[in-house]
Structure 1
């Protein structure tokens, strides 16, 4: 599955023209569709999962797995968004922690 996701990312994002500050809505729509294609667009909508206080060990372990997955997918999403921008724009957004902040 991870190889097929990497292949989709490589194929779809390499065809995008880099955002240079013009035609934002078109660029945004294309980036969003590509993120949907590789099933990581949820990090643009959902908040980072939290660890429940006072939960059972199983509930905490499950929450940690969800949180770890979300963080990894957020980082992938950030990388893809930043790589789809001209360097001058990407630099100004690179310090954002969450993909949805970009």
Structure 2
């Protein structure tokens, strides 16, 4: 009959083998993933695009779940305490990989700022809160610029349209408005002296 000590030793050996198998599988997957899927380094601009690309990259590596999962805990006195210990160790290893993939996706300047984050979830959440808020502030500022822009007769219309288009291009990059809205907005911004041409453009909208 197998003694409790021998049973625990057998479980430990099996868990060590399981953990090794999991780690080898993760490493094999990492090697298999094309570096073309790796997003460019994030420097503080276009966070939403970078975030989506990084999430896709981590999903391919089967590490995305560590952006939300809390580490497993070990409860004393439980029969499966050895199993729980192995699970915690495996979680720490995968979290280490996930966190460092995100860190390596940051510019050198941001890397130095966020190096103190201990878990992938903590790092991901902080980046999300900070840069989504900044992105919202930028969008709000651009919309205000867009709404307050007024053309005047004292300047060349072509130059003013170009200036207005720069604002619109920034807004389009943020995904705030469509191209058709852009065209309509430029027409509406023309001064009173251009009323005849404005009406002409409105009637010719479909052909244009």
TM-score, length of structure 2 as denominator length = 0.45
2:112 counterpart (85, 91, 102):
91
Task: For residue 18 of structure 1, report the CA deviation from its aligned partner.
Answer: 0.5
Unaligned runs of 5+ in 2: 1-24, 124-208
Change (3 A) 1:9 1:64: farther
Contact 2:103 2:115 survives alignment (8 Å) = yes
Q: CA RMSD in A?
A: 1.5
1:49 pairs with 2:72: yes
Residue of structure 2 equivalent to 1:100: 121
CA distance in 2, matches of 1:95, 1:66: 24
Counterpart contact for 2:26–2:61, Cα < 8 Å? no
Q: Residues 8, 27 of structure 1: CA spacing in aligned structure 2 closer, same or farther, 3 A cutoff?
A: farther
Residues 72 and 84 in structure 2, CA contact (< 8 A), matched pair in contact too:
yes
> Which structure is higher in RCO with an 8 Å CA cutoff and minimum separation 6?
1
1:70: how far off?
0.8
Counterpart of 2:47 in structure 1 is 24
Runs of 4 or more consecutive aligned structure 1 residues displaced over 4 Å after TM superposition: none
Q: SS where residue 17 of structure 1 aligns?
A: coil
Structure 2 CA distance for partners of 1:76 and 1:25, relative to 1, 3 Å: same
May I ask how many residue pairs the two structures share in their alignment?
A: 98
Tell me which structure has the larger Cα radius of gyration. Answer: 2
**Structure 2 residue 66 is matched with structure 1 residue 66:** no
Gapped regions of structure 1 (runs ≥ 5)? none
Asked if 1:7 corresponds to 2:18, the answer is no
State the alpha-carbon separation in 1 of the partners of residues 78 and 111 from structure 2.
40
Residues 55 and 64, structure 2, Cα contact 8 Å, conserved in 1: yes
For the residues of structure 2 that align with 1:18 and 1:51, how far apart are their CA atoms?
37
CA distance in 2, matches of 1:81, 1:37: 14
